[in-house]
């Protein structure tokens, strides 16, 4: 019996692993040199067409892509959805070329998943870094996040001297915290202590959710809790799309007064061909950032450890242990070049850049990612470094990298 077409939904890291795994198999030559040549030539040609930068494309490429998709069951998938964190341009184009239509969503569990959604062939989301317009059932608005220098209004709308001074210094950014309202928004978190008299839960001890409701939801005139405060920083673009700048709780202030949206920068810097994971730990004692980098072992099946070995062979380090390679000054210098190129491409500000190789730590980990999700030994007990959907747990990562963070932020600029 033929299965009906399906929708496949996953976080970006899953699509990254599909793309990296397929590249590894194709590059290995197991499918033959001609197939390898046609696959990558077709990928480049189709990507150029999708971005509006080319028109030379042959249908034979689609036959190769169809065989690749069928090999892992994606011939039965009608459309793919991604969300939970930012997906790279390279991965999204790869998926669109090889598997088919893919859209990028933004939302939360409290908003019944997607509140914004990109269009299948809208690749401006990469240049403009947006997550699409609000969906039909959703209203998006922003509110000031003064502590992070994000304001919704114009300079004339703020009369206090402190805010006026920030405008004159050029520290204010247009935007604010993203608030979501609509029929898909939860009425709030359940707390047994607020159940109506006569119900089974009435009179029970609170689970703390009543207090959380007061901060995470806003009541409308009818008394319903139907506006969710996401804790995300965002900007509404002129064409009606939403750009997410990062999490409020993942934003920290440097000693020079600048605010760093670490999650957004991690998404940019992890595009290196060598790295499977990056983490930017918070720092309030200096005016620069540092970065923790991980190259995963062969069990991750991304092929990036092979990229490191190939680089080592071409740079006088053939035969050395991969742990020694990734810890070397020469490799950190190569990563710095990658990070600088990415910062130039994305026009990152000076305080958002990795200044020199002394601010880079890199390790080889055979435990990443499954071992990190299961828990690693820290101070005599297990701590999970990643959620099951591959999101970073910052508190646990700070513990895991504690000694390195202390050393690296004290390193000379």
**Residue 210 belongs to some domain of the structure:** yes
pLDDT tens by residue, 226-255: 899 999 999 998 889 999 888 887 888 888
Q: Does the pLDDT value for residue 150 go beyond 90?
A: no
Dmax over CA atoms of the chain, in Å, equals 77
- Determine, yes or no, domain membership for 108: no
Q: Which of 247, 266, 287 is the last residue of a domain?
A: 247
Q: Of 224, 247, 270, which residue is a domain's last?
A: 247
Give the count of domains, the chain.
3
Do 267 and 239 lie in one domain? The reply is no
- Average pLDDT rounded to a whole number, residues 89-106: 90
**What CATH number is attached to the domain comprising 239?**
2.30.38.10
> Mean of the pLDDT values across residues 191-216?
74
Residue 110 lies in a domain: no
In sign, the C-alpha dihedral spanning 11, 71, 301, 317 is negative
- Verify that 267 and 227 share a domain, yes or no: no
What digits encode the pLDDT tens for the residues 249-298?
788 888 887 888 888 899 889 889 999 999 999 886 778 899 999 999 88
Q: Are residues 190 and 212 in the same domain?
A: yes
How far is Cα 252 from Cα 230, in angstroms, rounded to an integer? 17
pLDDT of residue 290: 92
Verify that 80 and 208 share a domain, yes or no.
no
Q: How many CA atoms lie within 13 A of 224 on its CB side?
A: 10
pLDDT of 200 above 70: no
Verify that 289 and 364 share a domain, yes or no. Answer: yes
What whole-number distance in Å separates Cα of residue 362 and Cα of residue 347? 24
* 275 and 233 assigned to the same domain: no
The residue behind tokens 């980990």 is 365
* 129 located within any domain: no
Note the pLDDT of residue 54. Answer: 73
Average predicted confidence (pLDDT) for the chain = 86
From its phi and psi, is residue 368 left (phi > 0), alpha (psi between -120 and 50) or beta?
beta
CATH number at residue 350: 3.30.300.30
pLDDT above 50: residue 1:
no
Residue 413, domain member (yes or no): no
Among the residue ranges 118-127, 172-181, 298-307, the one predicted with the least confidence is 118-127
User: pLDDT tens-digit profile of 100-114?
Assistant: 899 989 999 999 989
What share of the chain has pLDDT > 90, as a percent? 38
Q: Are 229 and 287 found together in one domain?
A: no
Give the domain range for residue 81.
6-100
Give the residue carrying structure tokens 């997550």: 131
Q: What percent of the chain has pLDDT over 70?
A: 93
Check whether 119 has a pLDDT greater than 90.
no
pTM: 0.72
For residue 49, what pLDDT is reported?
Answer: 85
Q: Residue 35 forms beta bridges with which residues?
A: none
Q: Report the half-sphere exposure of 259 (CA within 13 A, side-chain side).
A: 19
In a domain, 131, yes or no: no
Where does the pLDDT of residue 357 fall: very low under 50, low under 70, confident under 90, or very high at 90 and above?
very high
Phi first, then psi, for residue 229 (nearest 5°) are: -90, 105
For residues 264 and 379, membership in a common domain is answered with: yes
Q: Which residue has the higher pLDDT, 59 or 301?
A: 59
Give tens-digit pLDDT for 5-31: 689 999 888 898 889 888 888 887 655
Q: Name the domain boundary from 197, 232, 247.
A: 247
- CB-based contacts of 219: which residues, under 8 Å, 6+ apart? 225, 226, 227
Q: Which pLDDT band, with edges at 50, 70 and 90, does 413 fall under?
A: very low
Question: Is 330 within a domain?
Answer: yes
The two three-digit tokens of residue 233, written as one number: 């920083």
Mean pLDDT of 347-373: 93
Do 285 and 403 lie in one domain? The reply is yes
Which pLDDT belongs to residue 339?
Answer: 96
Do 223 and 333 lie in one domain? The reply is no
Residues contacting 98, CB < 8 A, separation 6+: 19, 22, 43, 65, 68, 69
Q: Which CA distances in Å does 228 have to 82, 184, 191, 197?
A: 21, 10, 17, 27
pLDDT value for 24: 82
Contact 131, 125 (CB under 8 A): yes
**Residue 233 domain-assigned?**
yes
Q: Are residues 173 and 298 in the same domain?
A: no
Shared domain for 180 and 307, answered yes or no, is no
- Count the helix, strand and coil residues of the chain and give each as a percent rounded to the nearest 5: 40, 20, 40
């Amino acid at each position: 019996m033929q299965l009906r077409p399906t929708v496949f939904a996953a976080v970006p890291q899953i699509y990254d692993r599909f793309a990296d795994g397929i590249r590894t198999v194709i590059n290995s030559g197991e499918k033959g040199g001609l197939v390898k040549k046609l696959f990558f030539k077709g990928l480049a040609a189709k990507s150029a067409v999708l971005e509006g930068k080319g028109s030379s494309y042959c249908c034979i490429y689609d036959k190769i892509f169809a065989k690749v998709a069928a090999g892992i069951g994606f011939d039965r998938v009608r459309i793919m959805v991604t969300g939970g964190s930012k997906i790279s341009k390279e991965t999204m184009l790869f998926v669109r070329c090889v598997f088919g239509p893919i859209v990028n969503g933004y939302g939360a569990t409290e908003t019944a998943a997607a509140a914004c959604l990109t269009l299948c062939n809208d690749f401006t989301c990469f240049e403009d870094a947006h997550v699409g317009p609000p969906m039909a059932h959703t209203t998006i608005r922003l509110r000031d996040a003064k502590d992070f220098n994000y304001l919704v209004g114009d300079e004339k709308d703020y009369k206090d001297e402190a805010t006026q001074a920030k405008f004159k210094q050029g520290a204010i950014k247009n935007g604010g915290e993203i608030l979501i309202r609509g029929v898909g928004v939860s009425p709030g978190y359940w707390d047994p202590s607020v159940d109506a008299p006569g119900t089974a839960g009435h009179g029970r001890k609170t689970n703390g959710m009543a207090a959380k409701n007061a901060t995470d939801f806003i009541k409308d005139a009818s008394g319903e809790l139907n506006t969710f405060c996401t804790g995300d920083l965002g900007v509404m673009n002129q064409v009606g799309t939403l750009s997410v700048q990062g999490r409020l709780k993942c934003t920290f202030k440097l000693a020079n007064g600048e605010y760093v949206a670490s999650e957004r920068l991690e998404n940019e810097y992890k595009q290196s061909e060598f790295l499977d994971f990056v983490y930017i730990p918070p720092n309030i004692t200096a005016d620069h950032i540092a970065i923790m980098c991980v190259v995963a072992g062969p069990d991750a099946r991304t092929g990036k450890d092979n990229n490191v070995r190939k680089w080592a062979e071409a740079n006088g380090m053939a035969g050395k242990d991969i742990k020694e390679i990734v810890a070397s000054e020469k490799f950190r210098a190569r990563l710095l070049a990658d990070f600088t190129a990415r910062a130039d491409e994305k026009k990152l500000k000076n305080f958002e850049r990795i200044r020199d190789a002394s601010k880079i730590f890199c390790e080889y980990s055979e435990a990443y990612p499954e071992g990190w999700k299961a828990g690693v030994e820290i101070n005599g007990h297990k701590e999970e470094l990643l959620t099951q959907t591959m999101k970073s747990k910052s508190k646990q990562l700070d513990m895991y990298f504690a000694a390195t963070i202390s050393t690296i932020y004290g390193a000379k600029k």
